[in-house]
Amino acid sequence: MTTDAVVMNASSGVNQVTFRMSPVKVLLSMLPCLLFLYINGVMLVTLLRKPHMLESSRYVLFGHLLLSDSLQLLTTMLLYIFAVTMVTMISYVCMLVVQLAAIAVKLSPLNLAVMSLERYVAICFPLRHANIVTIRTTRIAIVVMWSMASLDSFIQLLLFVRLENTSFIVSQYCSRNNVWRLKIYNTIDTIFIILYFVVVSIIIFYTYIAIICAVRSASTNVQNANKARKTVMLHMFQLCLCLTSTLFNMINSGGLLYVKADMALHFQYALFLGLLIVPKCLSPLIYGFRDNTFRHAFKYYFTFGCKRNVQHSA
């Protein structure tokens, strides 16, 4: 997914006055980010305070998803503030923020794919689950996810050093198109975006179908299988949200979507809120509140210990 959606660059003809968003819009954009960052932070504290949860690969992957979502929210807020305030900066600083945002955006679907595979092994191979899905293999999976998410950024950085390697002041605002100015960068980004989403889509659809088949098997725990099926189905919904945002962003950043500058700006603002900010609440809802053990612990820390009736576990 490109990062231009978070900076809302409508078209090349938009002047600086157009980017001066109303205080109400800025407030509506920042409040959800701060709220979800707080919720993610409380959930991470909950995981760290419960060592037995960190011994489960499922909760470790959930914690990694919270970290990647929080990183994406943080970089999204920074790029949005840069766009609204029209801050000028050195190219290397902008490049760092843009690349962190790009990596964080790719981590989320990759993490969803790994979590789907974990549910697939738990349902389809319950006797081998403890041997296959271990803390060691989970850590290896996280390293692989970061390597895959960073691969295109590393290639772009090598090309920048080889072809340009010059420091310049970013014009207008910090965005991907303003720092990666050669066409080859967009080509690499498009290729990797397509590759990521094809691989993740295949994994999620395969695990969903496999779990459906397991539900029909008499030898499988139907209740657990149905819960896993619903979880993977929610993964598909999250993936569709990411894909919708990516497809629009690829078309618009390529100049293929011909709309008026003001209309494009409002449309991308709605995209910014609806497809990048609001969906970040899905992870806590799906993996936090649907888990009884985690939900009670989360309520305790979210209310600063006011829920005294919560049973603490070791």
pLDDT in tens, 24-83: 777 777 787 888 888 888 888 888 887 887 888 888 998 898 898 888 888 888 887 887
Q: Does residue 292 or residue 52 have the better pLDDT?
A: 52
Q: Domains of the chain (ranges plus CATH)?
A: 4-302 (1.20.1070.10)
Supply the DSSP string of the chain, one letter for each residue: --SGGGTT---TT--GGGG---HHHHHHHHHHHHHHHHHHHHHHHHHHH-TTGGGSHHHHHHHHHHHHHHHHHHHHHHHHHHHHHT---BHHHHHHHHHHHHHHHHHHHHHHHHHHHHHHHHHH-TTTHHHHS-HHHHHHHHHHHHHHHHHHHHHHHHHHHHHT----BPSSS--HHHH--SHHHHHHHHHHHHHHHHHHHHHHHHHHHHHHHHHT-TTS-HHHHHHHHHHHHHHHHHHHHHHHHHHHHHHHHTT-S---HHHHHHHHHHHIIIIIIGGGGHHIIIIITT-HHHHHHHHHHHTTT--TTPPP--
pLDDT of the residue at 169:
75
Give the predicted TM-score (pTM) of the model: 0.79
Question: pLDDT at residue 139 above 90?
Answer: yes
Question: pLDDT at residue 136 above 80?
Answer: yes
Which range of 37-41, 114-118, 294-298, 303-307 scores highest in mean pLDDT? It is: 114-118
253 pLDDT tier (thresholds 50, 70, 90): low
Question: pLDDT at residue 309 above 60?
Answer: no
Question: pLDDT at residue 314 above 50?
Answer: no
Q: Mean pLDDT score of the chain, rounded to an integer?
A: 75
pLDDT in tens, 193-214: 888 888 888 988 888 888 888 7
